[in-house]
């Protein structure tokens, strides 16, 4: 992009007037520095490569349990080895002016620990989904960011995908009327032992990891927060593998206008779809939740849309929020809302499928 175009983009959005002074208000050409916390599958496969495609960010530091891995990242991404931190030395990020945003990509039950460390170091916080493992822990993150005066965003990449934007457009225009009947499923067959099957780190089973996408999509399609949930946990086929988390769960969300979303998630099946029906038409995505290759149609015909790098757009959006002094459209309140819905779903399943209100 030309420097003039970038200048106009930033100044049109009021970057100079609103940006926090320590964030390059005098240098709109500078990309914001991002530190990735946790160099696992998602950082390695998606976020690192996406950072090379961002317009407003660059990888400037990492936090990892493996200094050797961190040094390799420093060489690959061109930042100094002094910008490799351990989880216990994250406090030193406070002295690194090259880091503006800390992106927490560790297992969910560690998000509060890492977000607090980032906020205390004075860095803006991007936290992966699910935000944490309970609404109480989400509050801890929200309060830490508030106290430090830093911004908070959740890694809800699908809000930056144009297929999902089509759904939001239909909700905004009400072209088909309200979507009253929705179905969605996200499931895969887990073969390898990992934190995702450990309650202490994951907070739950596939509902926390995959089902949350269906919860998100249902809220998008309904344009509202559900009032209640009913849920059933299915019998385990591999109880030795899924000792203290569910293997498969079905649930129904009920929205204030009476709309319902029937949903399913599992670590022992394959599903990746979402459909919403209204009086005047329908919307469907299949696959719905992938990083790319999303496909779908509405009652008007197939959706013909070019793919994007969701993660690059998501990180650029947060960088612009930081530069422009705006709140993220996928902020802490949304992460907390989804955890409240997840808690209602688990409470219903634990109560034998009784209707539980979302609080
Ligand atoms: P992963 O297991 O591949 O990576 C986790 C990282 O955390 C590893 O680098 C690991 O070393 C580190 N870690 C630090 N302390 C740990 C501990 N005590 N136990 C286990 N690991 C520890 O997992 P991942 O797939 O990269 O997922 C990480 C986060 O990203 C999760 O919150 C997950 O939900 C999220 N995620 C989001 C998406 C998305 O599309 N938005 C996709 C995948 C993962």
Query: What's the confidence (pLDDT) of residue 30?
Result: 72
Residue 253: inside a domain: yes
Q: Whose alpha carbon is nearest atom 34 of ligand 1?
A: 129
Instruction: Looking at the CA of residue 208, tell me the nearest atom of ligand 1.
Output: 34
| 221 in the same domain as 299 | yes
Q: Whose alpha carbon is nearest atom 43 of ligand 1?
A: 42
Cα 108 to ligand 1 centre (Å): 8
Span 285-320, pLDDT tens digits: 999 999 999 999 999 999 999 999 999 999 999 999
Q: Please identify, among 98, 127, 157, the residue that sits at the C-terminal boundary of a domain.
A: 157
| 263 in the same domain as 140 | no
| 237 in the same domain as 197 | yes
Span 128-150, pLDDT tens digits: 999 999 999 999 999 999 999 99
In sequence order, what DSSP letters do the residues of 150-200 get, joined into one string? --EEE--GGGG-HHHHHHHHHHHHTSS----EEEEEEEEE--S--GGG-HH
| 207 in the same domain as 346 | yes
Do 138 and 145 meet the contact criterion of CB atoms below 8 Å apart? no
**What is the spatial distance between Cα 129 and Cα 42, in angstroms, rounded to a whole number?**
11
| 174 in the same domain as 105 | no
| 120 in the same domain as 230 | no
| 202 in the same domain as 142 | no
Q: Whose alpha carbon is nearest atom 7 of ligand 1?
A: 106
| 178 in the same domain as 53 | no
Residue 11: inside a domain: no
Residue 14: inside a domain: no
Residue 6: inside a domain: no
| 199 in the same domain as 347 | yes
Cα 141 to ligand 1 centre (Å): 18
Pocket test for ligand 1, best of 36, 37, 38, 205 (most atoms within 8 A of CB): 38
> What's the pLDDT band for 193 if we cut at 50, 70, 90?
confident
Q: What is the CATH number of the domain that holds 272?
A: 3.30.360.10
Residue 24: inside a domain: no
Q: Whose alpha carbon is nearest atom 31 of ligand 1?
A: 107
Sheet with 152-154: list strands edge to edge: 84-85, 57-63, 32-37, 101-104, 124-127, 152-154
> Among residues of the chain, what percentage have pLDDT more than 70?
92
Q: Please identify, among 157, 180, 214, the residue that sits at the C-terminal boundary of a domain.
A: 157
Instruction: Looking at the CA of residue 291, tell me the nearest atom of ligand 1.
Output: 40
Pocket test for ligand 1, best of 107, 114, 127, 203 (most atoms within 8 A of CB): 107
| 285 in the same domain as 145 | no
Query: How would you classify the pairing of strands 32-37 and 101-104?
Result: parallel
CB atoms closer than 10 angstroms to residue 132: 26
| 202 in the same domain as 145 | no
Nearest C-alpha neighbor of 90 from the set 102, 76, 79: 102
Residue 182: inside a domain: yes
Task: Quote the number of domains for the chain.
Answer: 2
Cα 132 to ligand 1 centre (Å): 12
Span 143-192, pLDDT tens digits: 999 999 999 999 999 999 999 999 999 999 999 999 999 999 999 999 99
- Name the residue range of residue 204's domain: 162-307+330-357
What is the three-class DSSP state of 22? coil
Residue 116: inside a domain: yes
Q: Is the pLDDT of residue 55 over 60?
A: yes
Query: What's the confidence (pLDDT) of residue 114?
Result: 98
Reported pTM: 0.93
- Average pLDDT on 198-217 reads 98
Instruction: Looking at the CA of residue 42, tell me the nearest atom of ligand 1.
Output: 26
Residue 20: inside a domain: no
Span 245-255, pLDDT tens digits: 999 999 999 99
| 237 in the same domain as 173 | yes
Query: What's the confidence (pLDDT) of residue 28?
Result: 57
Q: Please identify, among 139, 157, 175, the residue that sits at the C-terminal boundary of a domain.
A: 157
> Among residues of the chain, what percentage have pLDDT more than 90?
91
Ligand 1 pocket (Cβ < 6 Å) reads: 38-43, 65, 105-108, 110, 128-129, 155, 157, 194-195, 201, 209
Q: What is the CATH number of the domain that holds 109?
A: 3.40.50.720
């Amino acid at each position: 992009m030309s420097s003039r175009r970038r200048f106009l983009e930033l100044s049109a959005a009021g970057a100079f007037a609103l940006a926090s002074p320590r964030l390059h208000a005098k240098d709109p050409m500078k990309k914001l520095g991002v530190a990735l916390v946790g160099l696992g599958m998602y950082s390695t496969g998606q976020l690192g490569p996406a950072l090379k495609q961002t317009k407003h960010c660059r990888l400037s530091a990492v936090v990892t349990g493996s200094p050797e891995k961190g040094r390799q990242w420093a060489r690959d991404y061109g930042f100094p080895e002094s910008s490799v931190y351990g989880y216990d030395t994250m406090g030193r990020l406070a002295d690194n002016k090259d880091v503006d945003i800390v992106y927490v990509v560790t297992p969910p039950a560690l998000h509060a620990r890492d977000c607090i460390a980032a906020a205390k170091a004075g860095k803006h916080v991007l936290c992966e989904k699910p935000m944490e493992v309970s609404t109480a822990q989400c509050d801890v993150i929200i309060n830490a960011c508030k106290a430090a005066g830093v911004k908070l965003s959740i890694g809800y990449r699908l809000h930056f995908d144009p297929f999902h934007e089509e759904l939001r457009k239909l909700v905004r225009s009400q072209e088909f009327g309200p979507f009253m009947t929705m179905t969605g499923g996200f499931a895969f067959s887990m073969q390898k032992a990992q934190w995702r099957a450990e309650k202490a780190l994951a907070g739950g089973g596939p509902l926390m990891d995959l089902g949350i996408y269906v919860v998100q999509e249902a809220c998008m399609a309904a344009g509202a927060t559900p009032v209640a949930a009913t849920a059933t946990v299915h019998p385990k086929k591999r109880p030795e593998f899924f000792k203290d988390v569910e293997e498969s769960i079905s649930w129904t969300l009920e929205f204030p206008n009476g709309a319902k979303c029937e949903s399913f998630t599992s670590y022992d099946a394959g599903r990746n779809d979402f459909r919403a029906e209204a009086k005047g038409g329908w919307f469907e995505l299949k696959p719905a939740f992938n990083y790319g290759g999303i496909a779908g149609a509405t009652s008007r015909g197939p959706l013909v849309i070019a793919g994007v790098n969701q993660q690059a757009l998501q990180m650029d959006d947060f960088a612009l929020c930081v530069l422009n002094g705006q709140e993220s459209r996928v902020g802490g309140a949304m992460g907390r809302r989804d955890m409240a819905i997840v808690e209602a779903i688990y409470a219903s399943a634990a109560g034998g499928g009784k209707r539980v209100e979302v609080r």
